[in-house]
Amino acid sequence: MGRALALAGQVVLVTGSSRGIGAEVAVKVAGEGARVAVHYHSSADGAQRTLERARNAGAEAESFAADIRDGRQSQQLIERVIDRFGCVDALVNNAGRTQVGPFLEIEPAEWDEVIRMDLTAAFYTCRAVLPSMLERGSGTIVNVASRLGQIGVADTAAYSAAKAGLIGLTRALAREFGPHGIRVNAVAPGPTVTDMTTDLLESEEGSRRLADTALGRFGRADEVANAVVFLLSDASALFLGQTLNPNAGGYMP
């Protein structure tokens, strides 16, 4: 007999899953028996690759385009996923963008954009999905934060602020909706090897961040995805408002 699948039959929506950590989460949950909603904004080709990988893992999967920085589009995204699969059992808020540069050189427009993408988008998707979870009396949400939201790093003020806010949002929602059977948690990866971080990790700053890791290497996106799958599964039934830290020992709270 094969092993029991941790997410058998669940519908999991992963935002920003056309590449990087989001793509690996989509493929991992597919391998655990979930039906997968692959979300993307502009990278249709990347979403198609994730979709094919999820289906090859044995999952029923579909892709959905939306600009989740917009509340209306976030609401429509949730409605479309429910129309296609019948419900959303789990939401993984992974979509985001990085920001690197001196604080005094951040233009207000850039600040606003980073906050919108890395924090406000999660507000919109959570607000859109929670009513249906409340109706069923169950659901899980995992927010992908960052080690930078915990420790702060120079030249990442907007990104660090947004990710710290996401951790705060996680705790507040866990307190409010935990009594209704809905678990909300976060992961805060350290530097992780993806196509989006290659230049940074190979730079002088990357060398400094590598020196911070007790493990002596950067994490991989699939390793972060393992932590997300754990938080989505019944194995983490007692975890609410928690932030797991797949960061190679770069921060030890």
Q: Which residues are catalytic?
A: 159
State whether residue 12 is helix, strand or coil.
Answer: strand
Q: How far apart are CA 116 and CA 132, in angstroms?
A: 24
Closest of 2, 79, 4, 12 to residue 231, by C-alpha: 12
Q: Give ∠ CA 175-157-228 in degrees, rounded to 5.
A: 45
Q: What is the dihedral of CA 242, 139, 224, 53, to 10 degrees?
A: 180
Task: In whole angstroms, give the CA distance from residue 95 to residue 46.
Answer: 14
CA distances from 231 to 150, 181, 251 (A): 19, 14, 20
Distance CA 172, CA 252 (A): 22
Q: Give me 133's structure tokens.
A: 């979870």
